[in-house]
Amino acid sequence: MREFKLKDYKLGDTIAAIATFPGKSALGIIKVSGPGALVIGSKLFKFHKKKNIKSVKTHTLHYGWIVEGKESKKQRTKTKGEKRKMIDEVLLSVMRKPSTYTKEDIIEISSHGGIAVVNKILELVLKQGARLALPGEFTYRALVGGRIDLLQAESIRGIVDAKSEDVLALATSQLRGDATLKVKRLKEELKELFIQSESAINFPEDELDISSLKLKKRIDSLINKVGNLLEGSREAEILREGLKCVICGKANVGKSTLFNCLLKEERVIVSRSSGTTRDVIEETINIKGVSLRIYDTAGILEPKDLITKKALKKTLKIFSESDLVILVFDGSRRLSENDLFLFEKVKNKNVIFIINKSDLIQRLDQGKIPKDQVIVKMSALEGKGLGDLEEAVYRMVYKKGVDRENIVFLSQHQRHILQEVGSSLNQIRVFLEESRPIDFINIELKICLDNIGRLSGEVFSEEILESIFSNFCIGK
């Protein structure tokens, strides 16, 4: 996480950044936002046809050149005779406030994608008075301008980070306001209860039946909703970061062959001798829209030398961090004592048992594999059964029938706040059981409401804003 403070986001400044990936590419985009954006454009951009940036319509695209040396009138006469340097042929977008991403004037210069040219244009923009934008600063301005709330800001990070269509679709629906609406409903329910508790305190003679069974039910339903959102945010995290999936098994069972088979390329060395893989190798694949970070590992048992010992240590580490284990067996061999040890090791894990080498005569006694386990028979060498494995992985991810409705992208801080809301609600539940005075419930409801406000950014919290925006890239 980058270190920065919210106070560094000075709102009056004109900010600029390279919005595209730094490197050789077809296009490079330099974004400028703020009160000085149009003036900077007018100084650096030479329209192909006689036009003036001040009079062009908003949200229009213009062809021309970025030039160096267009100075004030006085300076122009000084340098008379000197030709202005043409830097690059570009397209300029002009977007006037308030209908822009940041709610400020924005120009975007779309140049050729070379590193030198993009940096040169940025340098010229900065020379004209813009300052380099901090991570997430454009989105921060969208937030301050009231164009989006914090949940939407977090979804933008989800969109930028998305490695699969699935994640992208979920993040986009959050940007459209789905999560905002859910949190809003939650807030309304809490507010209603809070108001009721207030009047119960102020007008006890009205005998508002706040401690009734109905109230318990309402609190239970809220606890449930918060729990679902928390679970949904955990799922979102897995989807965003990619599921960690480790391929494990004894030496020579075909782990690396399976790894290559999943990648559909000869990525790692496969050989007849055991102990071929002596390190952990990571690659990312996509199965039906689920991003998987898969790891090929060294044989999990029988380290023969120092290197394999080290490899085993690494394997065990990645094993303990994994979300899913693909445990490979050689179907042409009988199960041994060591295999029973492996069964024990994966007991509390999400695991798919692979009986590999199905193209050979089968000797493995499938009946010995613990009951209710997902078993896939395949030949990694011939690619047979790969579809079944992919299907099993997909089903494993959505095992609990994840309610996609509940998936919500939250920052760590936001998740923490939601947990606080959950514990306040649980506390209220206890108070109700103990038939405590309504004041106790009232206080907890107030805490819940404040926390919900912090979640969407209605209540300002420096800590949350910093935690969200420090995860953004520069230029977003």
Ligand X SMILES: Nc1nc2c(ncn2[C@@H]2O[C@H](COP(=O)(O)OP(=O)(O)OP(=O)(O)O)[C@@H](O)[C@H]2O)c(=O)[nH]1
Q: Which of these segments, 112-120, 174-182, 245-253, 390-398, binds ligand X (CB under 6 A)?
A: 245-253
DSSP state of 404: G
Q: Out of 256, 308, 356, 424, name the contact with Mg ion by CB under 5 A.
A: 256
Q: Which is nearer to ligand X, 279 or 321 (CB)?
A: 279
Radius of gyration of the chain (CA): 29
CB of 305 to ligand X, least distance (A): 13
Strands, sheet with 374-377, edge to edge from the N-terminal-most edge strand:
281-287, 290-296, 243-249, 324-330, 351-356, 374-377
Does 280 engage in binding with ligand X (CB under 6 A)?
Answer: no
Which position among 27, 195, 360, 430 is part of the footprint of ligand X (CB under 6 A)?
360
Indicate whether 274 belongs to the interface with Mg ion (CB under 5 A). Answer: no
Number of chain positions touching ligand X (CB under 6 A): 24
Strand order in the sheet with 15-18: 45-47, 60-68, 85-95, 106-112, 27-33, 15-18, 131-132
Among 33, 100, 252, 322, binds ligand X (CB under 6 A): 252
| Least distance from ligand X to the Cβ atom of residue 297, Å | 8
Q: How far is the CB of 333 from ligand X (least distance, A)?
A: 11
Q: What is the DSSP letter of 134?
A: P
Q: Measure the CA–CA gap between 321 and 35, rounded to whole angstroms.
A: 48
Q: How far apart are CA 427 and CA 128, in angstroms?
A: 57
Does 274 participate in binding ligand X (rule CB under 6 A)? yes
The least CB distance from residue 317 to ligand X, in Å, is 17
Closer to ligand X by Cβ: residue 258 or 290: 258
Q: How far is the CB of 255 from Mg ion (least distance, A)?
A: 5
Piece in contact with Mg ion (CB under 5 A), picked from 11-19, 50-58, 118-126, 272-280: 272-280
Count of CB atoms situated within 10 Å of the CB of 39:
17
In sequence order, the 6+-apart residues with CB closer than 8 A to the CB of 153 are 136, 139, 140, 142, 143, 457, 468, 469
Give yes or no for a contact between 53 and 45, defined as CB atoms under 8 angstroms apart. yes
Question: Who contacts 311 (Cβ-Cβ below 8 Å, separation ≥6)?
Answer: 277, 278, 279, 280, 297, 298, 303
Please identify which residue in 276, 426, 470, 471 interacts with Mg ion, judged by CB under 5 A: 276
The answer to whether 356 contacts ligand X (rule: CB under 6 A) is yes
Minimum gap (Å) between residue 392 Cβ and Mg ion: 21
151: contact with ligand X by CB under 6 A: no
For β-strands 290-296 and 324-330, DSSP reports them as unpaired
Least separation in angstroms between CB 354 and Mg ion: 14
Note whether 297 binds Mg ion by CB under 5 A.
no
Residue number with CB closer to Mg ion (140 or 329): 329
- Shortest spacing between CB 377 and ligand X, in angstroms: 10
DSSP string, 248-312: EESTTSSHHHHHHHHHTS--S---SSS----S-EEEEEEETTEEEEEEE---SS---SHHHHHHH
Q: Cβ 137 to Mg ion, closest distance in Å?
A: 46
CB 379 within 8 A of CB 354: no
The interface region with ligand X, picked from 26-34, 47-55, 88-96, 246-254 by CB under 6 A, is 246-254
Contacts of 305 (CB under 8 A, 6+ apart): none
> Should residue 412 be labelled a site residue for Mg ion when binding is judged by CB under 5 A?
no
User: Least separation, in Å, of the C-beta of 248 and ligand X?
Assistant: 9
CA distances from 97 to 14, 42, 102, 140, 210 (A): 13, 17, 8, 16, 49
Q: Which residue is nearest to ligand X (CB)?
A: 254
Give yes or no for a contact between 455 and 230, defined as CB atoms under 8 angstroms apart. Answer: no
Q: According to CB under 6 A, which one of 157, 244, 293, 357 is a site residue for ligand X?
A: 357
Decide: is 148 part of the binding site for ligand X (CB under 6 A).
no
Question: By the 8 A CB rule, do 108 and 93 touch?
Answer: yes
Burial class (CB in 10 A: 0-12, 13-18, 19+), 184: middle
274 contact choice in Mg ion, ligand X, none (CB below 5 to 8 Å, kind-dependent): ligand X
CA distance 41 to 56: 12
Check binding of 388 to ligand X (CB under 6 A).
no
Does residue 277 touch Mg ion according to CB under 5 A?
Answer: yes
Q: Are 70 and 84 in contact (CB under 8 A)?
A: yes
Q: Compose the 54-83 pattern: x for residues touching ligand X by CB under 6 A, - for all others.
A: ------------------------------
Among 25, 60, 99, 271, binds ligand X (CB under 6 A): 271
Chain residues that interact with Mg ion, rule: CB under 5 A: 255-256, 276-277
Chain residues that interact with ligand X, rule: CB under 6 A: 249, 251-257, 270-272, 274-277, 298-299, 356-357, 359-360, 379-381
